[in-house]
Structure 1
Amino acid sequence: MALDLALCYDRDYRGGCANKWPMPVNSCFSNRGGTNWSGFTNDAVFSFRISGGCCRFYRDADCQGGPMFTECNVNVPSIHDKYGQFNDQLSSIFCY
């Protein structure tokens, strides 16, 4: 099964989304270094959806500095409501 990921720039999956279907696994995606992912905007993600696996979400580029949080097979309509301080701070992702 492929891992699907949508990163959206506003609450409830609005404001435009960067979608990656299928998402390659065991690779870091970052707007700087790592494996560059066009359409990914640094420090702007407000909501996301994951199906078919898990992802670690990082504040720092290139999946450095330890993850802010990890989620598996979930819809998160508001990072602010679920994680508060981590809203609009996403810089890189590692999915598996």
Structure 2
Amino acid sequence: MPNVFIRQILNVSFCVCVCVCEHLKKKKKKKKKEEEEEEEEEEEEEEEEEEEEEIFAKEAENYEHFFFFFATLELYATRRPYHTAKEVYQKTGHGKKRKKK
């Protein structure tokens, strides 16, 4: 009788061990899949960022001359022939002479 009881206990404990091992294997596989998916997503994001940078670089090359053109137009529109650097400096308040005490 005690041998049968011991065998039943051993069978149950073996079954529990097998179930736990299977569960751990499934968990490990699940983690691997998640990590692979995350790596794929990161790679896709990096590729998208590189594509965006390339597109931005191309657009910047296309519009660079427009920016320069409008900047020069603005300079000529605001510039007056009698303005010198010294006058502009003084108008902004940076060129005021300090009062001596």
Greater RCO between the two (CA within 8 Å, min separation 6)?
1
- Considering fraction of residues, name the structure with more helix: 2
Instruction: Answer 1 or 2: which has greater strand percent.
Output: 1
TM-score scaled to structure 1, two decimals? 0.15
TM-score by length of 2: 0.15
